[in-house]
């Protein structure tokens, strides 16, 4: 008898997380609270701000939000506080900002309507000054910066960086920025951008977006964004109607504006986070067996340090560890000396991670941007048939010297020997560092290359790699009274 095969019913793709109900309720309550009480320069209807998003009340007068704007989990808005009261961040209708994004504005960041920003994206209209070699980068502040405008219907992929250090950066309509790309200049409409630094790899069709950017539907739900609301859940006719309503409501002053007179620079709720961080720091200092936990060190309440790893960690004076910073140690039991050393004045911003097996030494006044990874070991699959977690690991040691700046999303990996990042060096965003860097260098890209170096004899920063002749020049040059070697190794410029 012939057996009849019945097709297996296909599962629906629209799975609902029952526990997500609480997140949606909290997000809804937070959205209503923020819209009712925060003095934004302008705010539209149907705002969705995840309850874990970070927008300071004192900065709200410099932010304008349109209709149907959605802000994801742990997204952080940061603005310069120079006393000017003009609007710094403008997000128009139907825009979506994914989880864990950072939008940092000193001058102006403008997102036109229907812009979609994926998770872990940095948009920043200024850089960090490093030009004075006698002064720590952490003490030089920000550059003058420029202005950023992302035009309508652009798509920014996960982990991408949009950075403008001067002038104006414009992404034309329908541009697509691939995952991990670093955009530092303007591009025309309908461009698909990829790479570090970003370049045009193809053109998208007129009026539509195509190319390598993949934004799965789950992206909108991670971080509390719901597909049941917002522009992607409505038809084009509804979106057009919404825009017409916006124009009509503007004349009726539905986008409420506020006067900046009498506004306090202090966020009334910021004391909660500070108190939790203080309690967490005291708890770590008193109960964890650190090799060293010096005075003035501070750890955010969400920082992750295992108690068993504390004896391999040395934290110096005035070291700061921000939200979700993680220090991992996988040292052998016979190890006695510290494996992770953070010297005085160093700081790690959000979501940074140090994973040490041998030794990672961060010297004084080193500043890490968000989402930096530093690891001194890698997995080297060598034996067939052996589980990946049992394969041999190789590694070395890492030393980051004084006054360095490690940019957003950079990865520093050492698989053998010693990797040294020289004094007063700058590592660009999303760079991959696998070899040593000479002092007073600016490096960027993937693979990393030297962009600039400081020439002590010319007393200025020059493009490319400086290779002084030992016969013609001295071996050391004093900088702020400290002799610094100027003989750089032969590196690709």
Which range among 103-107, 411-415, 460-464 shows the weakest confidence by mean pLDDT? 460-464
Query: What domains sit in the chain, N to C, each tagged with a CATH number?
Result: 20-251 (2.160.10.10), 270-381+390-437 (2.160.10.10), 453-493 (no CATH)
Which range among 164-168, 270-274, 276-280, 326-330 shows the weakest confidence by mean pLDDT? 270-274
Separation of alpha carbons 476 and 484, rounded Å: 5
Of 447, 438, 428, nearest to 466 by C-alpha is 438
Question: Which pLDDT band, with edges at 50, 70 and 90, does 57 fall under?
Answer: confident
Separation of alpha carbons 476 and 176, rounded Å: 48
Separation of alpha carbons 164 and 94, rounded Å: 24
Give one word for 147, left, alpha or beta, with left for phi > 0 and alpha for psi -120 to 50. Answer: beta
Quick one: pLDDT at residue 138?
85
Residues 313-323 have a mean pLDDT of 93
The DSSP 8-state label assigned to residue 323 in this structure reads T
Separation of alpha carbons 23 and 151, rounded Å: 31
| Contact present, 480 and 139 (Cβ < 8 Å) | no
> Which SS3 state, helix, strand or coil, does residue 301 take?
coil
Who's near 411: CB < 8 A, 6+ residues apart?
A: 372, 373, 431, 432, 433
Residue 227 has pLDDT above 80, yes or no: no
Which range among 50-54, 207-211, 411-415 shows the weakest confidence by mean pLDDT? 207-211
Q: Greater confidence, 264 or 291?
A: 291
Q: Greater confidence, 364 or 385?
A: 364
Residue 103 phi, psi (nearest 5): -120, 110
Of 61, 54, 53, 473, nearest to 264 by C-alpha is 61
Quick one: pLDDT at residue 386?
61
Quick one: pLDDT at residue 472?
37
Separation of alpha carbons 265 and 268, rounded Å: 9
Separation of alpha carbons 408 and 348, rounded Å: 11
Quick one: pLDDT at residue 290?
93
Q: Greater confidence, 19 or 182?
A: 182
Separation of alpha carbons 77 and 89, rounded Å: 9
Residue 161 sits at the vertex; the CA angle it makes with 377 and 408, to the nearest 5 degrees, is 40
Residues 210-239 have a mean pLDDT of 41
Who's near 347: CB < 8 A, 6+ residues apart?
A: 138, 319, 320, 321, 322, 366, 367, 368
Residue 28 phi, psi (nearest 5): -65, -45
Q: Greater confidence, 89 or 15?
A: 89
Quick one: pLDDT at residue 68?
92
Could you check whether the bond before residue 224 is cis, i.e. omega within 30 degrees of 0?
Answer: no
Separation of alpha carbons 325 and 309, rounded Å: 15
- In this predicted model, what pLDDT tens digit does every residue of 159-206 receive, in sequence order? 999 999 889 999 999 999 999 999 999 999 999 999 988 999 988 664
Q: What is the pTM of this model?
A: 0.78
Separation of alpha carbons 141 and 137, rounded Å: 7
Residue 109 phi, psi (nearest 5): -125, 120
Quick one: pLDDT at residue 305?
93
Separation of alpha carbons 213 and 208, rounded Å: 13
Quick one: pLDDT at residue 339?
92
Residue 387 has pLDDT above 80, yes or no: no
- In this predicted model, what pLDDT tens digit does every residue of 355-375 receive, in sequence order? 999 999 999 999 999 999 999
Contacts 24+ apart (CB under 8 A), 179-188: 179/118, 179/213, 179/214, 180/409, 180/430, 181/157, 181/430, 182/428, 182/429, 182/430, 182/444
The two tokens of residue 160 are 């991408």
Would you list the DSSP string of 79-95? E--SS--S--EEE-TT-
For residue 452, give Cα distances in angstroms to 111, 173, 362: 32, 33, 23
Q: Greater confidence, 222 or 168?
A: 168
Who's near 321: CB < 8 A, 6+ residues apart?
A: 298, 299, 300, 303, 327, 347, 348, 352
Quick one: pLDDT at residue 362?
95
């Amino acid at each position: 008898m012939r057996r009849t095969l019945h097709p297996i019913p296909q599962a629906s793709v629209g799975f609902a997380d029952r526990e997500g109900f609480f997140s949606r309720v909290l997000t809804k309550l937070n959205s209503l609270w923020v819209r009712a009480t925060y003095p934004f320069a302008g705010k539209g209807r149907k705002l969705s701000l995840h309850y874990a998003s970070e927008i300071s009340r004192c900065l709200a007068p410099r932010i304008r939000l349109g209709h149907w704007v959605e802000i994801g989990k742990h997204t952080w808005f940061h603005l310069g506080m120079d006393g000017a009261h003009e609007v710094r961040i403008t997000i128009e209708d139907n825009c979506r900002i994914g989880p864990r994004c950072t939008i940092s504005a000193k001058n102006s960041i403008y997102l036109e309507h229907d812009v979609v920003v994926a998770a872990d994206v940095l948009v920043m209209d200024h850089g960090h000054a490093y030009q004075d070699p006698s002064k720590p980068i952490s003490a030089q502040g920000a550059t003058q910066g420029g202005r950023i405008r992302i035009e309508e219907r652009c798509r920014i992929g996960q982990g991408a960086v949009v950075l403008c250090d001067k002038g104006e950066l414009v992404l034309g309509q329908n541009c697509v920025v691939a995952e991990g790309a670093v955009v530092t200049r303007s591009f025309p409409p309908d461009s698909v951008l990829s790479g570090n630094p970003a370049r045009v790899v193809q053109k998208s069709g007129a009026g539509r977006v195509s190319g390598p950017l993949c934004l799965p539907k789950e992206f909108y739900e991670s971080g509390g964004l719901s597909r049941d609301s917002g522009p992607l859940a409505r038809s084009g006719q509804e979106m057009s109607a919404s825009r017409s309503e916006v124009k009509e409501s503007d004349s009726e002053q539905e986008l409420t504006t506020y006067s900046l007179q009498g506004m306090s620079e202090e966020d009334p709720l910021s004391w909660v986070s500070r108190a939790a961080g203080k309690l967490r720091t005291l708890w770590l200092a008193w109960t964890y067996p650190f090799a060293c936990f010096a005075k003035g060190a501070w750890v955010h309440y969400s920082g992750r340090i295992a108690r068993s790893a504390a004896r391999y960690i040395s934290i110096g004076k005035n070291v700061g560890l921000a939200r979700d910073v993680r220090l991992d140690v996988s040292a052998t039991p016979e190890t006695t000396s510290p494996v992770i050393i953070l010297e005085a004045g160093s700081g790690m911003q959000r979501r940074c991670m140090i994973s040490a097996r041998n030794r990672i030494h961060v010297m004084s006044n080193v500043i890490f941007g968000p989402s930096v990874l530093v690891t001194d070991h890698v997995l080297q699959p060598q034996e067939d048939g052996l589980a990946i977690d049992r394969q041999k690991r190789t590694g070395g040691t890492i030393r980051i010297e004084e006054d360095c700046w490690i940019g957003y999303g950079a990865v520093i990996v050492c698989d053998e020997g010693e990797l040294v990042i020289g004094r007063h060096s700058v590592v660009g965003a999303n760079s991959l560092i696998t070899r040593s860097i000479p002092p007073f260098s600016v490096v960027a890209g993937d693979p990393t290359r030297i962009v600039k170096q400081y020439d002590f004899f010319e007393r200025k920063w020059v493009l490319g790699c400086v290779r002084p002749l030992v016969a013609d020049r001295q071996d050391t040059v004093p900088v702020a009274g400290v002799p610094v070697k100027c003989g750089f190794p032969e590196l690709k410029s």
